[in-house]
Structure 1
Amino acid sequence: MKWPARKFTVTALVVWLLAMAGPVRAEETAEEWLARLGPALNMTTYRGVMAYTRGDQVSAMRVAHRYQNGHVEERLVQLDGASGEFVRKGAEVICVLPDRGRVQLEPVMPSGPFAEAFANRLVPDNPWYRPELLGDDRVAGYPAKVLALNARDSRRYSYRLWLEYQSGLLLKSHVRSASGEVLESFQFTDLEITDTLPDSEFEVRGNGREIAALLASESGEPAVKPMPSGWQLGWMPEGFVPAAVPRVGRGPAMAFSDGLSAFSVFVEPVGGLNMPTGASRIGATTAYMHRLVANDEVYLVTVVGEIPPETAMQVAQSVTVGDTASVGVVQP
């Protein structure tokens, strides 16, 4: 008389396990999964808490994201350390800075869902990375597909991505060295993917000095600026081409990208200042500074980007200065 009940229990257990494993769908290629990531970044509505690890630095943030009437709205609140809040409505971004210190948006989330340029650059046919499906996993309670973007040489880093099964939303990511070391990681620790969020989720609530700015475009692809005159690169990794110049306060610069990884080059006269040289790295970001003497003038060449230290060093040491009078002058 006990057998039917036992049969029902086993059947229920099997059904529950299948449900926990996620929906059954036709197997997609790694390239097809990558193609879903860009639209999912903008068009998925969600809220949650994320953790971002960069070297030995760990940050926790609360995020809300809504796609409504063709526009993206986001709110990001830093949960530890100095408080900071960022609210985006379309192309307008409002930053609420804390009383002490300053929180900058770009360094906070280079690998996460707010890094719009990151997802936009994940083109499925990038020749410098080999996409590979690694299997299934779960992140923050959601079934995920795990992908690897393996660098085809040692001049750049590899990536590992966890994409939510239904929407394709990025739930977790790693930046990895050639040896497999995880240099940076991002992941949701709590997440709710939903159809809608109330307007109150996107109101500025923090106290502090507000700074408003406009994004160059909602696509995250600012225009490429011309090469600064007076200096040139003698070498760069294969596949890197001129890209958008970063917005920084160090003067004219030039940026290069292979479609996923990127680095910037700064060349500045330093006069008699004794500036530090060599490499430093935080997470996946390398800064390499090289002292260059040309025509009796001393210059500091700085290479900053998500590239290995050996690559940054070779780029910096290949810089030559021709017309010293025009260093830092951007060609028309």
Structure 2
Amino acid sequence: MKRFLLTAALVLLAPAALAAADAASWLARVGPALRGLDYQGTLVVVADGRVDTLRVFHRVDGGRERERLVALSGPPREVIRDGSRVMCIGTGDAPVAYDMGQAGRWSEALAISEAAGLAGYRARLGGAGRVAGHAVQRVEVLATDPWRYGYRLWLETRTGLPLRVDLLDGRGRTIEQVAFTDISLDQRPSDADLAPSAPAELEQVSALPSHAGEPAGWGVPAPPAGFRLRATRPLPDDGVHLLYSDGLASVSVYVERVGGGLRGDARRQRGAVHARSFWLDGWQVLAIGKVPAATVDRFARTVRAVPVDG
């Protein structure tokens, strides 16, 4: 009887396990596709009641990635990446370049593709469909708790390149969407397509700071499951910026001195980004991130001064 029950349980679990494995195998194709393919197309971003349209060019030259994103709506602006260097060009500002490293990629899809193995997420296959005239396979990366958002990806069947990514709330509703309306795969952009409109050369101006592991004087003793402290950055007057992440979602916590008589709190939201702040005893705490409101509230409420070993 026990053997029968065990066999029955394995039969019931097998489809779910196979579906998760299939989803993981599809997600494993995303990174190589984003890094290694030549393509160009038009990308539409729908968020916070706004629709932005971008022209995207991506080319690989002997393992060196080159990419250019040009805004087709709103103020003229563009982002150019050459290897690990990124230049941002916008109206009224001089071009500024940053050494972004691997974390500076514009597409969230690369991080989402690795989320299936992270605490707080589970992956499953959806149905087939079409995006921008290409056959796609839908893959869902769902949150298993209320502390983070989920995602739905549409992957081009031949290459695994994500052609659409939706950000999902706890009820599975789309709250942000990024999708190609047209795309040409394996079509190499020209040098002119990848060149910045500004005459300045693409060069490093500033390196993004990283102080992971340094004593901060402040911390969140019990962050939501899966989140851990990834980096700290000192601010003036004993303040600090703490960055917490679960490997995909992230929350920034700022602790800064303010006028001693200030007391109160505030909530802010812009699309999928939530912020929570408190003022008390001469300090301001601000938690902000593309996570549900309850998550930033938890971070803001539980920040504590922690001893620093001298």
Short-chain TM bin: 0.7 to 0.9
Q: 2:71 & 2:86 partners in 1: Cα distance?
A: 16
Q: Deviations over 1:45-101 (max 9, x none)?
A: 111111112221221111100111111000111111111122111122222221389
Deviant stretches of 4+, over 6 Å: 100-105, 214-217, 246-249
CA contact (8 A) 1:122 1:259 kept: no
- Is it true that 1:319 corresponds to 2:306 in the alignment? no
Query: Residue 77 of structure 1 aligns with which residue?
Result: 70
Give the TM-score taking structure 2 as reference length.
0.80
- Is it true that 1:65 corresponds to 2:58 in the alignment? yes
Q: Deviations over 1:129-159 (max 9, x none)?
A: 1101011111111111101111111111111
Q: 1:280 & 1:210 partners in 2: Cα distance?
A: 38
CA contact (8 A) 1:95 1:211 kept: no
- Is it true that 1:45 corresponds to 2:38 in the alignment? yes
Q: Deviations over 1:204-229 (max 9, x none)?
A: 2258x888537979xxxx96623552
CA contact (8 A) 2:156 2:162 kept: yes
Residue 129 of structure 1 aligns to which amino acid in structure 2? Y
Q: 1:169 & 1:65 partners in 2: Cα distance?
A: 12
Query: Residue 171 of structure 2 aligns with which residue?
Result: 179
Q: Report the structure number with the largest CA radius of gyration.
A: 1
Give the TM-score taking structure 1 as reference length.
0.75
Unaligned runs of 5+ in 2: 1-20
Secondary structure at the counterpart of residue 42 of structure 1: helix
Q: 2:75 & 2:162 partners in 1: Cα distance?
A: 26
CA RMSD of aligned residues (A): 3.5
Q: 1:185 & 1:103 partners in 2: Cα distance?
A: 28
Query: Residue 197 of structure 1 aligns with which residue?
Result: 189
Q: 1:29 & 1:315 partners in 2: Cα distance?
A: 35
1:237 alignment partner, one of 224, 231, 247: 224
Residue 280 of structure 2 aligns to which amino acid in structure 1? L
CA contact (8 A) 2:58 2:65 kept: yes
Query: Residue 25 of structure 1 aligns with which residue?
Result: none
Secondary structure at the counterpart of residue 179 of structure 1: coil
- Is it true that 1:115 corresponds to 2:102 in the alignment? no
Residue 55 of structure 1 aligns to which amino acid in structure 2? D
**Residue correspondence of structure 1 range 1-332 to structure 2 within 5 A:** 29-99=22-92, 114-115=106-107, 119-120=110-111, 122-123=113-114, 124-206=116-198, 212-213=203-204, 225-244=212-231, 252-271=240-259, 277-293=265-281, 298-321=282-305
- 1:87–1:34 CA distance, 2 compared to 1 (3 A): same
Secondary structure at the counterpart of residue 213 of structure 1: coil
Q: 2:47 & 2:264 partners in 1: Cα distance?
A: 23
Q: 1:66 & 1:273 partners in 2: Cα distance?
A: 55
- 1:195 shift after superposition: 4.5
- 1:276–1:99 CA distance, 2 compared to 1 (3 A): farther
Query: Equivalent pairs: percent with the same residue?
Result: 32
CA contact (8 A) 2:213 2:231 kept: no
Q: 1:58 & 1:227 partners in 2: Cα distance?
A: 40
CA contact (8 A) 1:140 1:188 kept: yes
Q: Deviations over 1:240-278 (max 9, x none)?
A: 1122469999x7411111121111111011125859832
Query: Residue 7 of structure 1 aligns with which residue?
Result: none
Number of residue pairs the alignment of both structures matches? 284
Secondary structure at the counterpart of residue 29 of structure 1: helix
Q: 1:189 & 1:198 partners in 2: Cα distance?
A: 21
Query: Residue 9 of structure 2 aligns with which residue?
Result: none
Secondary structure at the counterpart of residue 277 of structure 1: strand
Q: 2:227 & 2:41 partners in 1: Cα distance?
A: 35
